[in-house]
Structure 1
């Protein structure tokens, strides 16, 4: 159990680093583009920035879930996954807290799934917060440009 908690905490740390650096990088890109085009920011450009932001953030979440899936696949104590695809599928279902339950891991390793679900809730909430911030800034920018 202690080993699984340690592994889980390490993977959580890795995924938080990925998400932190990834979102910081993306916010810098957005800030630069919003700043450069402040007076002539078109509705279509705002829409594309929102679409790109959603795709980028979902890609980060997908990469993070894949890291968990690879972890399940390579750990010697977990034998339920015959393929990497099944491990990643289980990870995605767990990361999103959907939890279909048709694939499970042994009771000795279930604590990892619980830690992944906690990680997923945190990182998906973070993604939602960033997406909301970009949307809020876009709407604010749109209304400011209409006044000018």
Structure 2
């Protein structure tokens, strides 16, 4: 354990980078799985699908993305706690959440000799949140297409809508 108490920036960067790669791999696999489930459900959606079902699909997709981020932060917190860098698992998880979201305002911190891990955790959060945002843009694009299809259906039925000139 003495090796862990002496400052070694190379060890910090190597261990941090290896964990970062694992986190990003887990995120990629999780995103792919969530995308596949969304696509399999979305092929059954058409203009007649009730709004509540479409909204439930959106909520489940967002929930799955959030769960993925919580799992990834747990993957960071486990070694931080198990190595005794922050002995309490709750405090380790709190620290990781603070770093992962780049908020960084926490009262819990790593020991001086391990402080390079915090920015690496933040890098993983930036990567994964960016990737998640791109997935949400893709999902919302599908919702926009559905909304447009439904609006055109109303127009074709002769129902008044925005811009139709009817009051």
- Normalised by the length of structure 1, the TM-score is 0.90
Partners of 2:24 and 2:57 in 1: CA distance: 24
- Report the Cα offset of residue 41 of structure 1: 2.6
Aligned length: 145
From 60, 65, 68, give the equivalent of 2:68. 60
| Partner of residue 20, structure 2 | 12
4+ long deviations beyond 2 Å: 36-42, 145-148
The 2-side partners of 1:38 and 1:14 are apart by 38
Alignment of 1:31 onto 2:39: yes
Q: Structure 1: any 5+ residue segments left out of the alignment?
A: none
1:21 aligns with 2:29: yes
Greater alpha carbon shift after TM alignment, 4-13 vs 137-146: 137-146
Unpaired runs of at least 5, structure 2: 1-8, 154-167
- Contact 2:95–2:108 (Cα < 8 Å) also in 1: yes
Could you list the per-position Cα deviations for residues 12-46 of structure 1 after superposition, in whole angstroms to 9, with x for gaps in the alignment? 11111111111111111111111123343332222
**Offset at residue 47 of structure 1 (A):** 1.1
| Rg comparison, structure with higher value | 2
From 23, 33, 40, the equivalent of 2:48 is 40
Q: Partner residue of 1:142? A: 147
SS in 1 for 2:91: helix
CA distance in 1 between partners of 2:108 and 2:66 (Å): 23
Where is the helix percentage greater, Structure 1 or Structure 2? 1
Confirm or deny: 8 A CA contact 2:77 2:93 kept in the other structure: yes
Aligned counterpart in structure 2 of residue 75 of structure 1, from 75, 78, 83:
83
